[in-house]
A and B are shown apart, each in its own frame.
Chain A
Amino acid sequence: MAYKLKISGTVDESIVDGQGIRYTIFTQGCPHKCDGCHNPHTHDFHAGKEVDIHDLFTEICENPLLKGVTFSGGEPFCQPEPLIQLAKLIHTHKLDITTYTGYTLEELEAKANPLIDELLKQTDVLIDGKFINAERDLTLTFRGSHNQRIIDMNATRKTGTITLLDLT
């Protein structure tokens, strides 16, 4: 069961979900239901399809142009177990992990859930926060609204304070 992931779909080569060319996995099921969400079909926890993370990993390995993999959704933190396993595999393949979440990093840490903590540990870049329609801006890089942050998790772990990614 730990190897099965419920997804809405994947994108082979995305340039809008993080730095470099990325393989993006849209997980299925989301509790946030943000107003104006551009992927409303990923909200229903009962929809989507179940896939084996090893199949995803095989496909990811086939593309030499990838810089990394992005977990999007849906809410990835609703399925931490399979994503942790997949992220570990991906890291062995020298690719990085960007994870989108509707929670803030502080909210996730406050849950004090070892699985959530482990998925955060496997994440190199975290793009956090709900999409807020009033703060929507199409010119933002990799984000939908101003409240969302692009957090450099490696630097954050090292320094102990939340460090945003320098995108210049």
Chain B
Amino acid sequence: MLFSALQIIEKYRKEDVNMIKNIKKRNGDIVTFDINKIKEAIHKANLESTDDTMTKQDLTALANKVVKTFDHSDTPTVEQIQDIVEKTLIASNCASTAKAYILYRAEHAKIRQSEVDLMDIYNELTFQNAKDADIKRENANIDADTAMGTMLKYGSEGSKYFIDHYILPKDIAAAHINGDIHIHDKDFYMLTETCCQIDLLKLFKGGFSTGHGYLREPNSIQSYSALACIAIQANQNEMHGGQAVPNFDYSLAPGVAKTFKREYFKALANYFVIRFDMPKTDAIALAKTIATDLPMTITMSNAEKYGDALIAYLPKHQQDNGFQAISAEQTKAAHDYTVETATSETDRATYQAMEAFIHNLNTMNSRAGAQVPFSSINYGTDTSPEARMLIKNLLLATEAGLGGGETPIFPVQIFKVKEGINYNEGEPNYDLFKLAMHTSAKRLFPNFSFIDAPFNFQYYKEGDYDTEIAYMGCRTRVMGNVHDPAHETTCGRGNLSFTTINLPRLAIEAKGDINKFYDSLDQFIELVIRQLLHRFKIQCTKKGRNYPFLMGQNIWINSDHIGPDDSIAEVLKHGSLSMGFIGLAETLKALTGKHHGESEESQKLGLEIIGYMRKRMDDEAEKTGLNFSLLATPAEGLSGRFVKIDQKLYGTIPGVTDRDYYTNSFHVPVYFPIKAHKKIAIEAPYHNFTNAGHISYVELDGDTCKNLAAFEAIIRCMKDNGIGYGSVNHPVDRDPICGFNGIIDNECPKCHRSEEIDKPKFERIRRITGYLVGTTDRWNNAKRAEEKDRVKHGLQA
């Protein structure tokens, strides 16, 4: 066959081709024709094909044959020339090359069709305000109206363009651009990983360096709090996602203990001065001597024993050395007073430290100053008195709000619910669980994670915080570990990257044929796996020096032995590669006519689909030894992107493409009225499948502060149903004029002004993909539409 093809080529090789002079480009420009471009294109297609490799002569002959088709006075368009190339290749019996050429051409056409010119994007970024340009509100946490915010967007958009056109395999780029899949944080494709869970306890031991300076081990709760912010900020600057502390109570409790010890000896010295008329220097020296001489260290839990030891020591010490006499009774009185004073002083200092922590995380800038760090903290299980004091004050400071009484947006707080520790009356941290609900009813945080959910409990080892499930703010979860089953732990691990499949489109294309749906699902799962591995390979080329904090300060697990020039490939294997999905509700609607909130059959199918996707991830994990996992994608920018493209392709399909957003992950649609317990029961089994992260919400309309019993009923229902991570959404409004915090309809209940008449507008805090956002002004269009549709429980008609 090839022989005959070459014979035809031979015929054209000898002829002197009458050249075309000019061609017309797609933008209408007339440019000089260059035959080498045709040769190059055929050459590339030939290399992709199973045909024999063409020689230079073959290529020239084919190109000449193409040109010959046109009259030399013609000015053909690029498309016309490409049509002829296709025909020529087929006619020359180079079928495989022709196929490769057609594919290549189609993918380029797709990319071109949906890709706006980069300079048009820059134009929009430069000359439009964020409120008018959706592209500037892609991420509600970034203020793209500022200089640094715009600069970040220039970088981000330029990077995406580069990745699409020069890095990604063409079929993957095309799949992203035309909306079959979404590669998250694509602008960071060549640079870094998503997120990490920081073990502050380990980091603080012996102090650390940010790369700009060395910090000593902190010695008070105030410094612990300040350094915690610095660590979060430093790590955030090296990764593209958020930062979480999985063990906030365990990590900062030593700071409380250190402050308590210092306050104790300070109060003791003061007591000596006032009650015993001791000169101040002597009193301080005596307190110091006591601290060194007594074999134990004073803590909040051993104060009584310490008192006994002090009584045994001090009177004798004074007598033996011929110092001022102090009796046993006097010593006891001094100790009792001192413990009380130290406790209240430590409590006060801890409150201030937590207040500062929250203020810092809402005001400190990172990433070129355009955003605050995406921070999350998990806590609730440390029952030591220091940790309890810490968490109590953190919750109180959260409830008090920022300087003007505003609801703090960061950190995302996650209260770990665990039976035996904090869930039932009589358990040591039950009071903190109650306080957590009280705080969340006012401030939307904390959220609640459930260690007892079977898929979380399987990792739990009592007393080891590293085995307690933690979530990162937006919902990410990293726990299982096929690479190293001895480390099925949270600390030092995180997600490497994730990519989402447009499930509703597969369902629309399947036209009700479930086998066809699964076939194309398989095809895209393969593509996503290939893409995640492609990105992983790039991530693996990095060295220790690329991450001076993450690797240099040994935040990442097992990075202790990685020097600046060592590869990080091996330790990265502790991270997760996640495939996500969006719009299960629309998918089911397209396949069966009903979503999983409407029909039990659809729920069955939904579980089957998501269960299958999970199985594919498990299989891949086993095959590669890498942590492939399934994610209920948070999808902020994505909620509108897919549906916008699909509306263009398929028009408006009721219940599928007729809204401005696809429903988040496996959620029952927000517009669908459903009782809270049913929503929880329907969504809970999906938590078990989505091992890379999940969250369920219940919307309540009304001031939950005034009805904590209702709030608690929801949280308990979540636990009973096996939810892994959940929260209650309710309106939190604030009048910036009088400072009222609560629900505001048209009129502020406190000062009775209305926002239509008087400026400024009321602030309306709502949750977006796990994060709180101060005003809906910075939300993208799709998320605005979704929030408007949310059906609330308890709404009065």
Contact = CB atoms under 8 A, between A and B. Distances in A.
Given A138-B749, A139-B750, A13 B794 contact: yes
Contacts of B87: none
A103 to B, nearest CB: 22
Nearest to A21: B710
Contact of B676 (A9, A13, A139): A13
A124 to B, nearest CB: 13
B163 to A, nearest CB: 47
A65 B745 CA distance: 27
A67 B749 contact: no
A16 B713 contact: no
A138 B796 contact: no
A24 B707 CA distance: 15
B700 A65 contact: no
Contacts of B710: 15, 19-21, 67
B340 interface: no
B797 interface: yes
Interface string B762-797: 000000000000000000000000000000011111
Given A20-B709, A65-B676, A65-B677, A13 B793 contact: yes
A12 interface: yes
B633 interface: no
Interface string B706-745: 1101100110010000000000000000000000001001
B704 A15 contact: yes
B797 A11 contact: yes
B794 A16 contact: yes
Nearest to B681: A64
Contacts of A15: 700-702, 704, 707, 710, 793-794
A13 B702 CA distance: 11
Given A15-B700, A64-B677, A21 B713 contact: yes
Nearest to A39: B796
Residue with the highest number of chain B CB atoms closer than 10 Å, among A13, A19, A137, A138: A13
Contacts of A17: 796
B288 interface: no
Interface string A10-32: 01111111011100100000000
Contact of B713 (A12, A20, A141, A167): A20
A11 B707 contact: no
Nearest to A24: B796
A139 B743 CA distance: 9
A12 B745 CA distance: 22
A147 interface: no
Nearest to B745: A138
A17 B703 CA distance: 11
B427 interface: no
Given A16-B702, A139-B742, A63 B709 contact: no
B217 interface: no
B732 to A, nearest CB: 15
Contacts of A12: 675, 793
Residue with the highest number of chain A CB atoms closer than 10 Å, among B745, B747, B797: B797
B707 A9 contact: no
Contact of B709 (A19, A64, A139): A19
B794 A21 contact: yes
A12 B700 CA distance: 12
A16 B702 CA distance: 6
A57 interface: no
B709 A67 contact: yes
A137 B706 contact: no
Contacts, number: 69
Interface string A39-70: 00000000000000000000000011101000
Interface in A140-158: 141-142
B793 A137 contact: no
A142 B706 contact: yes
Residue with the highest number of chain B CB atoms closer than 10 Å, among A16, A17, A64: A16
B745 to A, nearest CB: 8
Contacts of A24: 796
Interface in B30-57: none
Contacts of B704: 15
A63 to B, nearest CB: 6
B721 to A, nearest CB: 10
A65 B675 contact: yes
A74 to B, nearest CB: 13
A21 B792 CA distance: 13
A9 B794 contact: no
A137 B740 CA distance: 13
Contacts of A67: 709-710, 713
A19 B703 CA distance: 12
Contacts of B742: 139
Contacts of B714: 21, 65
A47 to B, nearest CB: 15
A11 B717 contact: no
B717 A64 contact: yes
Contacts of A11: 794-797
Contact of B796 (A16, A65, A137): A16
Interface in B226-241: none
A64 B747 CA distance: 35
A167 B795 CA distance: 21
Nearest to B712: A20
A21 B706 contact: no
A72 to B, nearest CB: 9
B769 to A, nearest CB: 25
B431 to A, nearest CB: 16
Interface string B480-503: 000000000000000000000000
Residue with the highest number of chain A CB atoms closer than 10 Å, among B700, B710, B750: B710
Interface in B264-287: none
Contacts of B794: 11, 13-16, 21
A12 B701 CA distance: 12
B747 A65 contact: no
A92 B542 CA distance: 68
Contacts of A64: 677, 717
Residue with the highest number of chain B CB atoms closer than 10 Å, among A21, A24, A138: A21
Interface in A111-153: 137-139, 141-142
A14 B796 contact: yes
Interface string A59-102: 00001110100000000000000000000000000000000000
Nearest to B700: A15
Interface in B565-617: none
A96 to B, nearest CB: 11
A13 B792 CA distance: 9
Contacts of B675: 12-13, 63, 65
Contact of A19 (B676, B707, B750): B707
A11 B64 CA distance: 78
A79 B630 CA distance: 55
Interface of B: 675-677, 700-704, 706-707, 709-710, 713-714, 717, 742, 745, 747, 749-750, 793-797
Interface of A: 9, 11-17, 19-21, 24, 63-65, 67, 137-139, 141-142, 167
For the complex of A and B, list the 6 residue pairs with the smallest distance between their C-beta atoms, beginning with the closest: A138-B749, A20-B709, A15-B794, A16-B702, A15-B710, A15-B702
5 contacts: A14-B702, A20-B707, A20-B710, A63-B677, A67-B709
Given A14-B794, A21-B709, 14 more contacts: A12-B675, A15-B700, A15-B707, A16-B703, A17-B796, A20-B713, A24-B796, A65-B675, A67-B709, A137-B749, A138-B747, A139-B742, A139-B749, A167-B706
